[in-house]
């Protein structure tokens, strides 16, 4: 009759040992899981969720800004007040019917950069201009079909104020003699993210990597590069809440909200 008793006792002691082990194991497992899920959520997900695409041509905004007069010289408004977005071949062809730049020689200053630029122009002229084919640009700020965005309203309205550094909640910029440079408004929403840094498009010598969400197909610029969704600049992201935030901030009285049929169609 002792057999079973002994076994029972041993079992209890063993159980105590074992429960500590199990507790430790459980803690460990929980810890690992917390770590893994945080790791996956914060670091792996952003990498997996978005594509990495290069533009067909690495357009150099900075060079072009030297010879034109502001963003709307190329990103034009049509006569009916609508915004044409990316320029079409017809606008480029005046200068780029033939290759403009000179092929750099090895040993030249910035040889590699200049060679890349030269090759890009050759590609542009040969594959697009001469074929009469529009460049399939990847649009960073492409909004979904349900959105109606009026560039005309934002570019002409007196209600629109440029805020310091494009920072959320920052005070409005006082321009000298009230003369507001055109790109100040553009830069409120459009910035080029190059190597983690926000650069005004007009100063960018290269085009940012284009990243598209695999699930939504929206470009990363809509949600923003911070996977948490928290942003401190207006240009960081362009979801509906971001638009609403700016519309709210731009009101003197901080009262009321716009109707859906302002930005939706």
Nearer to other proteins, 89 or 119 (CB): 89
Distances (CA, A) of 262 to 55, 144, 148, 243: 32, 15, 8, 11
Residues near 147 by beta carbon (within 8 Å), at least 6 away in sequence: 263, 264, 265
249 with 264: CB under 8 angstroms? no
Residue 117-146 contact track with other proteins, rule CB under 8 A, x = bound: ---------------------------xxx
Candidates 93, 170, 172, 99; CA nearest to 133 is 93
Nearer to other proteins, 103 or 258 (CB): 258
> How many residues form the binding site for other proteins (CB under 8 A)?
59
Nearer to other proteins, 115 or 240 (CB): 240
Residue 63 near other proteins by CB under 8 A: no
Distance in angstroms (rounded) separating the CA atoms of residues 109 and 115: 11
Nearer to other proteins, 119 or 152 (CB): 152
Q: Which of 11, 21, 136, 169 binds other proteins (CB under 8 A)?
A: 21
What torsion, rounded to 10 degrees, do the Cα atoms 199, 191, 213, 239 define? Answer: 140
Residue 34 near other proteins by CB under 8 A: yes
Nearer to other proteins, 182 or 205 (CB): 182
Residue 173 DSSP code: P
Q: Which of 5, 66, 80, 105 binds other proteins (CB under 8 A)?
A: 80
Distance in angstroms (rounded) separating the CA atoms of residues 82 and 95: 25
Distance in angstroms (rounded) separating the CA atoms of residues 135 and 221: 21
Distance in angstroms (rounded) separating the CA atoms of residues 111 and 117: 10
Compute the radius of gyration of the chain from its Cα atoms. Answer: 28
Residue 2 near other proteins by CB under 8 A: no
Residue 181 near other proteins by CB under 8 A: no
Name the β-bridge partners of 197.
Answer: 194
Residue 90 near other proteins by CB under 8 A: no
Residue 72 DSSP code: G
Residues of this chain, 154-173, that bind other proteins according to CB under 8 A: 155-159
Q: Which of 55, 91, 150, 250 binds other proteins (CB under 8 A)?
A: 150
Residues of this chain, 192-231, that bind other proteins according to CB under 8 A: 213, 215-218, 223, 227-229
Q: Which residues of the chain form contacts with other proteins (CB under 8 A)?
A: 18, 21-22, 25-27, 29-38, 40-42, 45, 49, 72, 77-78, 80-82, 84, 144-146, 148, 150, 152-153, 155-159, 213, 215-218, 223, 227-229, 253, 255-256, 258-262, 264-265
């Amino acid at each position: 009759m002792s057999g079973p008793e002994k076994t029972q006792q041993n079992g209890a002691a063993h159980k105590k040992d074992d429960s500590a082990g199990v507790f430790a194991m459980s803690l460990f497992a929980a810890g690992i899981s917390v770590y893994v899920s945080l790791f996956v959520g914060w670091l792996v997900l952003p990498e997996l969720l978005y594509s990495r695409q290069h533009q067909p041509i690495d357009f150099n905004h900075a060079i072009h800004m030297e010879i034109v007069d502001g963003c709307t010289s190329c990103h034009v408004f049509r006569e009916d007040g609508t915004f044409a977005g990316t320029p079409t071949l017809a606008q480029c062809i005046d200068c780029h019917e033939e290759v403009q730049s000179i092929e750099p020689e090895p040993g030249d200053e910035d040889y590699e950069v200049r060679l890349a630029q030269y090759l890009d122009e050759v590609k542009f002229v040969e594959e697009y201009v001469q074929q009469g084919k529009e460049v399939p640009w990847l649009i960073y700020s492409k909004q979904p079909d349900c959105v109606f965005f009026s560039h005309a309203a934002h570019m002409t309205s007196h209600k629109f104020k440029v805020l310091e550094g494009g920072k959320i909640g920052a005070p409005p910029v006082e321009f000298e003699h009230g003369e507001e440079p055109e790109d100040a408004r553009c830069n409120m929403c459009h910035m080029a993210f190059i190597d983690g840094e926000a650069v005004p498009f007009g100063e960018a010598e290269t085009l940012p990597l284009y990243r598209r969400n695999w699930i939504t197909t929206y470009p990363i610029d809509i949600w923003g590069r911070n996977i948490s969704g928290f942003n401190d600049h207006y240009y960081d992201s362009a979801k509906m809440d971001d638009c609403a935030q700016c519309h709210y901030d731009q009101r003197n009285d901080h009262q009321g909200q716009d109707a859906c049929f302002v930005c939706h169609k």
